Amino acid sequence: MGHERVIDNSGNLYAPKDCELREDGRWLVLKVRGGELRYPRPDNWVGIPKQKYAAGELLGTAYHTTSPVYKLNSVIRLMNAKGSSGTKYFEKDTVTVADCYAYEAGTIHYTENKRGEIEVFIGGRQYAYSPESIYYFPDGTEIKKYQRFCSGVVNMRQVTADLPGDINGAFNIFRNQYYSLTSNDFQKSGIVSPSDMQEEIVEMVFSGLTNMVVDPKTNKVEEIEYQGTQNAILNRKSFFTTLSYGWSSRIIGRALKGELNLEGDTMTSTVLNLLLNDKLDSK
């Protein structure tokens, strides 16, 4: 069975001003009044065949087609720290992973090194360049902290490695990426609407996917490990929680070896307490 495929609009580039566009090697150059604006040209660039463009007009796209379940695949990729593409349904539904959020505020600069590779810097920090992503801002633009600057799905394992101990920074990037994948309102305005998933649930999801090392003396987070869904569940000590996620043969085997105890955790203790006190409707 086939599904109608559409272009991923997150890879679109729009004219910030009235301009003329030319391609110059690895670069897209916009001639505007008073000078030029320079962007990296994606390997999968497809431009609109025109000479002049009005402000706000589509210039072209980092061509990438998606299926109806692309957002689901992207969410799976966001929550998986094991390097999988996240593709569960359609082979063609590859998810582009990129360094796409700024850790600190600063000016964005693009350079081409001696090997002809594009390098991306914001302030004094270098970010990995994604050749299949569109970069939304021209060279020399001021970027805000935690602002998205290119298309793609962020690699949260890389984020936590780059921001050791910065739990607030890592969560802000996870939150922004999660809502950008699940909320049309957030994509347009950057504001969470009442119909979106509650903030508290997003925090709980992030907490469940990470493992934090805390200094017992200062109570400060020293290290954050983004484990992803499978590792976060399998690494728990609770027999009840891990078994409930369906890995019965693995979990029972570990319990028989003494690697798991019949321990509860916040989730199972709460549910068991409600059941024992007859506060859950078992029907």
* Residue pLDDT tens, the chain, 283 long: 456 788 889 999 999 999 999 999 999 999 999 999 999 999 999 999 998 999 999 999 999 988 877 888 888 788 775 544 444 554 457 889 999 999 999 999 999 999 999 999 999 999 999 999 999 999 999 999 999 999 999 999 899 889 988 889 999 999 999 999 988 888 888 888 888 888 888 888 888 788 777 777 776 766 777 876 555 444 555 444 444 444 455 555 655 666 655 555 554 555 555 555 655 454 4
CA distance 144 to 92: 34
Give me the count of residues in the chain: 283
* Pair 152, 278 in one domain: no
Q: Given the structure tokens 């497809």, which residue do they identify? A: 46
* Pair 252, 122 in one domain: no
* Pair 50, 81 in one domain: no
With a CB cutoff of 8 Å and minimum separation 6, the contacts of 62 are 11, 13, 42, 44, 45, 132, 133, 134, 151
Q: What is the span of the domain harbouring residue 249?
A: 236-283
Indicate whether 221 belongs to any domain. no
With a CB cutoff of 8 Å and minimum separation 6, the contacts of 233 are 241, 242, 245, 247
* Pair 199, 118 in one domain: yes
* Pair 195, 155 in one domain: yes
CA dihedral 210, 96, 158, 124 (to 10 degrees): -140
Asked which of 160, 191, 209 is the last residue of a domain, the reply is 209
User: What token pair was written down for 75?
Assistant: 């969410």
* Pair 172, 262 in one domain: no
Indicate whether 231 belongs to any domain. no
| HEC string for 199-249 | HHHHHHHHHHHEEEEECCCCCCEEEEEECHHHHHHHCCCEHHHHHHCCCHH
* Pair 81, 59 in one domain: no
Count structural domains, the chain.
3
Indicate whether 215 belongs to any domain. no
* Pair 248, 179 in one domain: no
Sign of CA dihedral 121, 125, 126, 130: negative
What CATH number corresponds to the domain at position 13? 2.40.50.100
